[in-house]
Structures are given as C-alpha cells and as structure tokens.
Chains A and B, each alone.
Chain A
Amino acid sequence: AQRVTQPEKLLSVFKGAPVELKCNYSYSGSPELFWYVQYSRQRLQLLLRHISRESIKGFTADLNKGETSFHLKKPFAQEEDSAMYYCALSEDREAGTALIFGKGTTLSVSS
C-alpha cells in the first residue's frame, strides 16, 4: 500500500528565511507526486506537480526516487506563505487514480 509521510505538523520560520517542507512516500511503482496548499481550511489549491517541474510562488520540489522524497522548498519565506501544505501521491499518472494525502504541515511565517 502507498503511504505519504509529512514528518512535521508545524514549521515556524521568520520572513526571509529558507523553507523546506518534508515529504516522503512509500510506493513500489512510479507515482505522481503533488503539493497542495490550503489557506484557512478553504479549497485545496494545486501548488506543484512533479511532472510539470514548474516553480509556483517561488516554491520548487524535486522528486528523489532514491530517497523516495518530494520535499518542498522556497529560498525566502513570505508572510503570505502561511498555510497548510499537503503532499499527495497518485499511483498511476495516466489513469487518474485517487490522490493519497499526507497529514499536512502547517507553515507559519512571522515577521
């Protein structure tokens, strides 16, 4: 069975500091990995999808198959980045199988 682990429930940083939100997964195949952001328990918004290799709002994430990780990084945190971040996995990128989410990390950026 697949599993997504986000080891930190809360990450607190100061404005301008680097941010790294950790995500590890366990799955024997070739999953598709995502990062979603949720502000104040509103709609989940797609932040990153590993196959698109984009940088959204200054965030990047690299899939490391050897370490089975997909950590989210940003070099300089902003106060508006404060939100809940979820890492998610889909087993089959072609078939659109359901996303399996980690438990989320709350990012708090203070000035």
Chain B
Amino acid sequence: DSGVTQTPKHLITATGQRVTLRCSPRSGDLSVYWYQQSLDQGLQFLIHYYNGEERAKGNILERFSAQQFPDLHSELNLSSLELGDSALYFCASSVDSRTGDHYGYTFGSGTRLTVV
C-alpha cells in the first residue's frame, strides 16, 4: 500500500455521462497530481493542486475539472464522456506538510474508466 488511495478501482459508464474519481493523498501530503494513462498517449499530466489551490494545468480537457478539499483529498470530475476518455486515471501526492519537503511522488493504484 503506497498510502495514496483511489476510488473506485473500476468504473464502467455510458457516453455522455458524468463521473467523479476520488483520491486521498498520503497522510500529510499537500500536493495532488492527476494523470491520464491511455495506450496511445502514455501518461499525460492533467492538473496539480497544492493545499487546496490549483497550481498547474496540463493537457486537461474543458469537460474535465478537479478540486482539492480542506482535508486534502481531491476529486476529478469527467463530464460528457466520450469513448476516447477510456483510460487509467492515476493520482499522485507529494510535499510533506510537516517538513515542507518535496520528497518525491507517490502514486495510487488508479481508476480504470471504461466508457461504452
């Protein structure tokens, strides 16, 4: 167990629907990063939150949004889903709140989204 928890592990939904993916970072970590892994595009950075605030955006579609809550967990919302959104979605956490140390990045086990 890496300490980063992602739920659900698997999700199957229809085109046009909306889903929410959840990430609980390693205890005390302030930063959460979201990534999309597809077979053709590899690992694409989507968005980074630090202590509740958006820090950086990557290749995130306008149909996707995210937030980080006061307890530091994060949610990634995917709407108007298309077949091409089928992928593994990973989150990672970093930055120890006790020391401020950016020790590296710890990844969760991912959510496998299938859009049918």
Beta-carbon contact of A41 and B88 below 8 Å: yes
Question: Number of A-B pairs whose CB atoms are under 8 Å?
Answer: 57
Distance from A101 Cβ to chain B, minimum over Cβ atoms (Å): 4
Q: Answer whether A46 and B88 are a contact pair too, CB < 8 Å, given A96-B95, A97-B48, A100-B45.
A: no
Beta-carbon contact of A34 and B104 below 8 Å: yes
Option from A93, A99, A102 in Cβ contact (under 8 Å) with B33? A99
For B90, the closest partner residue in chain A by CB is A44
B: contact size bracket: 20 to 34
**8 A Cβ contacts from B63-100 to A:** 88, 90, 92, 94-95
For B41, the closest partner residue in chain A by CB is A103
Beta-carbon contact of B102 and A94 below 8 Å: yes
Name the prevailing secondary structure of the A interface residues: loop
A: contact size bracket: 20 to 34
Name the prevailing secondary structure of the B interface residues: strand
**8 A Cβ contacts from B92-116 to A:** 92, 94-95, 102, 104-110
Beta-carbon contact of A96 and B109 below 8 Å: no
Residues of B contacting A111 in the complex (Cβ-Cβ under 8 angstroms): none
Residues of B contacting A86 in the complex (Cβ-Cβ under 8 angstroms): 42-43
Residues of B within 8 A of A (CB): 2, 31, 33, 35, 37, 42-43, 45, 48, 50, 55-56, 58, 88, 90, 92, 94-95, 102, 104-110
Residues of A within 8 A of B (CB): 34, 36, 41-46, 49, 86, 90, 93-104
